[in-house]
Amino acid sequence: MKVTNIDLYKYFGWPKPNKYAKGILHGIFFDHDLDDTEMCPKRLHPIMLIIPGGGYHFVSQREANPVALAFLRHGFNAFWLDYSIAPKNKYPTMLVEAMMALTYLYKKAESMHSDPEKITVSGFSAGGHLAGMLASLSEEEKQLFYPYGKCGAHLRSVVLGYPVVMDDTEGVSIRNLAGPEDPNPSRFCITNRDLSSFPPCFIWTTKEDTVVDPTTNAQALKDALDRNGVKCQLVLYPRGVHGLSTGDENTYLDYWEDINIRKEVFGWPELAVEFINSVGGGIKD
């Protein structure tokens, strides 16, 4: 097993928009077969690209490594993106970096013992919004980072945790992404994008989320994907605050004391893996 940290701008020789841009891909992956016997046949590992949240003004560490570890135990080679943030950066910088990450994982799959046909992106809160944009790229956006289109990188599935679709309660996420002078921030609403080619999508959130309203965000996306004939599963937990991440000891919130909520939400990665497997994106087809 190996750990990697890749400066995507340096790898692709792509100019940074400014000195504050990040674009660092971190990962942990199986670099060889654990065994090659009748008990454990030789196989490639699916890829999980994780995009943490943070309202586009920081990158949540609670939604980075802990999520990678959660999927690693299910056979995924797991990577998370440390992307550029406001106010020093705005759209399309974050999206270009997400395209860079997907392109890198697709191109380097063989050397990292991964299957390039089994890439899932998992995003949380504002990171869920960025994942949603990556899954619904317009032809114009694909030209922002032309190596993406040339290499044929694509997603098998999408996993979204309490995602920003319209915006959060304070209206901060989209404003940070678009910048204060953008005349049409509504164009960044995921449900306003072309969803006809959106990959199969697993969404989870809670009814008690007061930061990203589950009705105008998660449920709205589920309805839009249904209208476009995209396979989608929404799990709406009855209780729990925003930002639960994996809901285990690594991401425990001090103000979240109800052990019953933790036990319930803790199971979402397993449900997500079942969904990914159902569309042929996991280690088990």
The CATH number given to whatever domain includes residue 155 is 3.40.50.1820
207 Cα distance to chain centroid? 21
Which pLDDT does position 79 carry in this prediction?
A: 98
Residue 283 lies in a domain: no
Please state, in angstroms and rounded to a whole number, the distance separating the CA atoms of residues 178 and 50. 22
Range of the domain at 162: 2-278
CA nearest neighbour of 272 among 175, 189, 198, 202: 202
Burial category of 263 from C-beta neighbours within 10 Å (exposed 0-12, middle 13-18, buried 19 and up): exposed
Residue 207 lies in a domain: yes
Residue 45 · residue 115 · CB < 8 Å: yes
The residue count for the chain: 285
How would you classify residue 174: left for phi > 0, otherwise alpha for psi between -120 and 50, otherwise beta? alpha
Which pLDDT does position 37 carry in this prediction?
A: 59
- Look up the pTM and report it: 0.94
Residue 79 lies in a domain: yes
Per residue of the chain (285 residues), what is the pLDDT tens digit? 899 999 999 999 999 999 999 999 999 998 776 655 555 556 789 999 999 999 999 999 999 999 999 999 999 999 999 999 999 999 999 999 999 999 999 999 999 999 999 999 999 999 999 999 999 999 999 999 999 989 999 999 999 999 999 988 888 999 999 998 888 888 899 999 999 999 999 999 999 999 999 999 999 999 999 999 999 999 999 888 898 888 777 776 554 556 566 667 778 999 999 999 999 999 875
Helices and strands in the chain, H and E counts: 10, 8
The domain tally of the chain equals: 1
Which pLDDT does position 33 carry in this prediction?
A: 62
Residue 142 lies in a domain: yes
Residue 285 lies in a domain: no
Residue 284 lies in a domain: no
Residue 190 lies in a domain: yes
C-alpha to C-alpha distances, 33 to 40, 75, 184, 187, nearest whole angstrom: 9, 11, 49, 45
Residue 232 lies in a domain: yes
Which pLDDT does position 254 carry in this prediction?
A: 56
Residue 204 · residue 271 · CB < 8 Å: yes
